[in-house]
Amino acid sequence: MTATRYDRRMYAVMNDRRAAAAYATAGRRRLIVGAHVALTAVGVAAWIGTVFGSSWSLTVVIAVALLPWVLLTGMLNGSTRGLLELRGRMLDERQLVERDRVRALAHRITLWLLVAAAVGAGAYSVMTDTPLRAEVTPVLVGVLAAHWMMPLWVASLRVQDDLADVDDEFGDSSAS
């Protein structure tokens, strides 16, 4: 199947290297992933508090967290060059294999997160001798958010650093 105009546009967006310096190293990507995880947790917790609690003032927290979360999501997608966002026909064989590896690893991490949530919810129920109707839904929403974002986090942490452009074998571009 041939690439559509949408495919070509998304490929160009995901491979735009103007912001590459922000996520060029593994340390910077770890920092971005950590900030993205924290903003995701804040946003999901605020949303849970709004929906399942009585405080609508938490919508301000959601709104404030949303803009940096979107910017960080874009940076993470840029760092992976759209590995998870581009259609398969826009990726080469190596990228398709890497996408499968990322998804498999993210699936295993999410599986253990679900196991921990189930054990924690069960332990809470036993220790407090209360039914879990009200407590399970927020836990499931949190785990769903982690499941949704885990492939992006894993892919961003697995990206290799870009090799610096070097003119000669010693890295001295001033020698001619």
Task: Give pLDDT tens digits for 53-68.
Answer: 877 889 999 999 999 9
pLDDT of residue 164: 57
Span 26-46, mean pLDDT?
96
In a domain, 137, yes or no: yes
Q: How many domains is the chain partitioned into structurally?
A: 1
pLDDT of residue 165: 47
In a domain, 56, yes or no: yes
Place of tokens 């709004």: 50
Q: How many CA atoms lie within 13 A of 50 on its CB side?
A: 14
Q: Which domain holds residue 76?
A: 20-158
Condensed to tens digits (0 to 9), the pLDDT of residues 100-128 reads 999 999 999 999 999 998 888 888 888 88
Does residue 105 contact residue 154 with C-beta atoms inside 8 Å?
yes
In a domain, 1, yes or no: no
In a domain, 13, yes or no: no
In a domain, 67, yes or no: yes
pTM beyond 0.75: the answer is yes
pLDDT of residue 111: 95
Residue 174 has which token pair? 């001033």
Condensed to tens digits (0 to 9), the pLDDT of residues 123-169 reads 888 888 877 776 788 888 899 999 999 999 999 999 988 765 444 44
pLDDT of residue 116: 92
pLDDT of residue 113: 93
In a domain, 9, yes or no: no
Place of tokens 């942490």: 157
In a domain, 165, yes or no: no
In a domain, 69, yes or no: yes
Does residue 121 contact residue 115 with C-beta atoms inside 8 Å?
no
For 10-19, 27-36, 68-77, which range has the lowest pLDDT when averaged over its residues? Answer: 10-19
Rg of the chain on CA atoms, in Å: 20
